Amino acid sequence: MADKFHHEAIYRGDGALEKIGAQRVTICGAGALGSHLADNLARQGFKDLRVIDRDRIEEQNVGTQLYGESEIGAWKVEVLRQRLFRATGIEIDAHRKDLTDRTAKGLLQDGGILIDAFDNSASRRLVQEHARALTLNCLHVGLFADYGEVIWDESYRVPNDVPGDVCDYPLARNLILLTVGVASEVLLRFVLSDVRESISLTLRDFCIGRLES
Strand, helix or coil for residue 180: helix
- Quote the pLDDT of residue 1: 61
pLDDT tens digits along 109-138: 999 999 999 989 999 999 999 999 999 999
Confidence band, pLDDT 50/70/90 cuts, at residue 209:
very high
CB atoms within 10 A of CB 124: 21
Taking the chain, what is the end-to-end CA distance rounded to the nearest angstrom?
A: 44
Across residues 185-189, what is the average pLDDT?
98
Instruction: Answer yes or no: is pLDDT of 167 > 70.
Output: no
Across residues 96-100, what is the average pLDDT?
93
Q: Hey, what amino acid is at 39?
A: D
Confidence band, pLDDT 50/70/90 cuts, at residue 145:
confident
What average pLDDT is seen over the chain?
A: 94
- Quote the pLDDT of residue 143: 93
CA 29 to chain centre: 7
How far apart CA 56 and CA 12 sit, in angstroms, is 36
What percentage of the chain carries pLDDT values higher than 70?
97
Confidence band, pLDDT 50/70/90 cuts, at residue 53:
very high
How far apart CA 34 and CA 159 sit, in angstroms, is 18
Confidence band, pLDDT 50/70/90 cuts, at residue 170:
confident
**pTM, to two decimals:** 0.95
Instruction: Answer yes or no: is pLDDT of 164 > 70.
Output: no
CA atoms within 13 A on the CB side of 129: 12
Burial 22-51 (b: 16+ CB within 10 A, else e): ebebbbbbbbbbbbbbbbbbbbbbbbbbbb
Across residues 39-60, what is the average pLDDT?
97
